[in-house]
């Protein structure tokens, strides 16, 4: 007995929904529900030492309180500076490495790329411990090298002036191989004829980079910038392992400050408000990057 056309059409319409249902439920349970829960808690006064049923409605008081808190404002500033520095340092370096490796101007480029990418898969805690040793003020290899060539040794993680930038250096090193790999994949899609035509017209390497490479790498660069911002704004592990937010709150970031507020001071409502503000910053920053990197219609 043949099935009706309407039944077949219905089955075909339901099949995709059935396939994506497990992933959709997983995202709902692990992403959307925690976000909604954080938003709800941020409107209440609640200590995590008490039952959740004891929450007291305070409306937007938690948001008003955190924006009057100098420590939170310092943490938010540090977070924004860290994320911006990561974008403006890691992405240009990744682009430079990708171009040099793709053009075969570095010997052993495949081995170098494999080593660079390996840094991305190493757990951040392990990377932090490694860099903690490298940047140790006494006996650290970096300061030993500076001393050997006659330069003054630096406190690195021990000084408010250099601690945050030391963490930027660490994170840049960790993500450099990942972003370089993404951009090399994008470069393989750029026709070589464009470069050959530009060379015939007398365009130098810098001109080819600005006029051909960067415009045609818009999508990979946009993706890399978005990931860079997400990771930068959500930085936690390296700060928690190496500096605990110090010295003098110079490396305190929103994620660490929220954890302390919730677990050390028992104010889950204010901590949730901090995470909601951070989420808003992520949405605005990533949304801006995606808007800037969108495909423009032909004139």
Domain boundaries, the chain: 61-292
Q: C-alpha distances in angstroms, 282 versus 77, 220, 277, 287, 293?
A: 14, 19, 9, 8, 16
Q: What is the pLDDT of residues 245-262, one digit of tens each?
A: 999 999 999 999 999 999
Neighbours of 122 (CB within 10 A): 11
> Which pLDDT does position 299 carry in this prediction?
35
CA dist., res. 166 & res. 140, Å (int) = 14
Contacts for 173 with CB less than 8 Å, ≥ 6 apart: 119, 127, 131
Q: What is the pLDDT of residues 155-182, one digit of tens each?
A: 999 999 999 999 999 999 999 999 999 9
- The pTM (predicted TM-score) of the whole model is 0.88
Give the residue, 107 or 267, on which the prediction is more confident: 267
Q: What is the pLDDT of residues 47-94, one digit of tens each?
A: 888 888 889 999 999 999 999 999 999 999 999 999 999 999 999 999
What is the phi/psi pair of residue 57, to 5°? -65, 125
Categorize the per-residue pLDDT at 103 as very low, low, confident or very high, splitting at 50, 70 and 90.
confident
> Which pLDDT does position 105 carry in this prediction?
67
Closest-CA residue to 66 (of 291, 211, 245, 274): 274
- The mean pLDDT value of the chain amounts to 88
> Mean per-residue pLDDT for 207-212?
84
What is the phi/psi pair of residue 292, to 5°? -65, -30
> Among the listed ranges 38-47, 100-109, 257-266, which one has the minimum average pLDDT value?
100-109
CATH of domain 61-292: 1.10.3720.10
């Amino acid at each position: 007995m043949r099935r009706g056309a309407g039944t077949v059409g219905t089955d075909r319409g339901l099949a995709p929904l059935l396939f994506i249902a497990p992933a959709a439920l997983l995202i709902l349970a692990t992403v959307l529900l925690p976000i909604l829960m954080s938003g709800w808690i941020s409107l209440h006064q609640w200590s995590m030492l008490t039952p959740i049923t004891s929450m007291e409605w305070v409306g937007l008081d938690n948001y008003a309180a955190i924006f009057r808190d100098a420590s939170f404002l310092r943490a938010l500033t540090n977070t924004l500076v860290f994320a911006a520095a990561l974008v403006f340092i890691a992405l240009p370096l990744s682009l430079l490495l990708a171009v040099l490796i793709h053009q075969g101007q570095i010997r052993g480029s495949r081995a170098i790329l494999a080593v660079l990418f390996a840094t991305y898969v190493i757990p951040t805690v392990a990377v932090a411990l490694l860099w903690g040793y490298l940047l140790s003020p006494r006996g650290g290899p970096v300061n030993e090298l500076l001393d050997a060539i006659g330069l003054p040794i630096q406190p690195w993680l021990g000084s408010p002036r250099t601690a945050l930038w030391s963490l930027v250096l660490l994170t840049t090193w960790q993500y450099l191989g990942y972003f370089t790999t993404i951009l090399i994949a994008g470069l393989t899609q750029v026709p070589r004829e464009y470069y050959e035509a530009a060379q015939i017209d007398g365009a130098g390497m810098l001109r080819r980079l600005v006029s051909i490479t960067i415009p045609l790498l818009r999508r990979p660069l946009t993706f890399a910038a978005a990931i860079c911002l997400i990771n930068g704004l959500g930085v936690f592990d390296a700060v928690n392992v190496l500096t605990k937010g110090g010295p003098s709150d110079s490396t305190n970031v929103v994620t660490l400050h929220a954890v302390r507020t919730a677990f050390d001071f028992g104010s889950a409502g204010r901590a949730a408000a901090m995470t909601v503000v951070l989420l808003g910053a992520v949405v605005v920053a990533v949304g801006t990057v995606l808007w800037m990197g969108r495909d423009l219609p032909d004139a």
